[in-house]
């Protein structure tokens, strides 16, 4: 059985592509690439078709993580295709709750809820602040915690 994880932010150019890249890297390091699939999407259509923001591409490359995804918007079908839809902040979680079809099985979660050591709910948006390194640190801790949670709950 394959577990499918979709990271979701507003534009799908800063935070969720970073989470996708870091999480896939951890999955590969753990030897679980055949069992966990990863993608990302945005609740808005503002940047559809664009590559990740240069700040995200820069920090990923600096940490040795390849990323060549393009922005896409979340669809209704994603709620059937993915097991976990993980929102990078609470406003995107609210947007997902409003979109979710009643019979879809996907679990909706907030990215930082798995990281007990981080005392924040939302990954702050680096689009205006430019704090991509700070966000990378949060994403790395959150991704590790999420992988731990999924391994435990899915018995991987």
Catalytic status, residue 15? yes
Q: Is 40 in the site for ligand 4NP (CB under 6 A)?
A: no
Of 3 and 12, which CB lies nearer to ligand 4NP in the complex structure? 12
Do 8 and 92 touch, CB atoms closer than 8 A?
A: yes
Of 3 and 85, which CB lies nearer to ligand 4NP in the complex structure? 85
Q: Is 46 in the site for ligand 4NP (CB under 6 A)?
A: yes
CA 40, 42, 46: angle at the middle one, nearest 5? Answer: 135
Site string for ligand 4NP, 116-135 (x = CB under 6 A): ---------x-x--------
Q: 3-9 and 84-87 as β-strands: parallel, antiparallel, unpaired?
A: parallel
For helices 15-29 and 54-62, the axis angle rounded to 10 degrees is 20
Q: Is 13 in the site for ligand 4NP (CB under 6 A)?
A: yes
Alpha helices per DSSP H over the chain: 15-29, 54-62, 78-81, 90-99, 126-129, 132-154
Q: Is 14 in the site for ligand 4NP (CB under 6 A)?
A: yes
Catalytic status, residue 14? no
Q: State the residues that interact with ligand 4NP by CB under 6 A.
A: 9-15, 46, 125, 127
């Amino acid at each position: 059985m394959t577990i499918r994880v979709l990271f979701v932010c507003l534009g799908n150019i800063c935070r969720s592509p970073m989470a996708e890249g870091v999480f896939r890297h951890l999955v590969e390091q753990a030897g679980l690439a055949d069992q966990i699939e990863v993608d990302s999407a945005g609740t808005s259509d503002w940047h559809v078709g664009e590559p990740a923001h240069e700040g995200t591409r820069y920090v990923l490359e600096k940490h040795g993580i390849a990323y060549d995804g393009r922005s896409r918007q979340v669809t209704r079908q994603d709620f059937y295709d993915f097991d976990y839809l993980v929102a990078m902040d609470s406003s995107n979680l609210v947007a997902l709750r409003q979109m979710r079809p009643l019979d879809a099985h996907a679990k909706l979660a907030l990215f930082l809820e798995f990281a007990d050591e981080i005392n924040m709910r939302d990954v702050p948006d680096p689009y205006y602040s430019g704090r991509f390194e700070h966000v990378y640190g949060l994403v790395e801790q959150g991704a590790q915690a999420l992988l731990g949670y999924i391994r435990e709950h899915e018995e991987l």
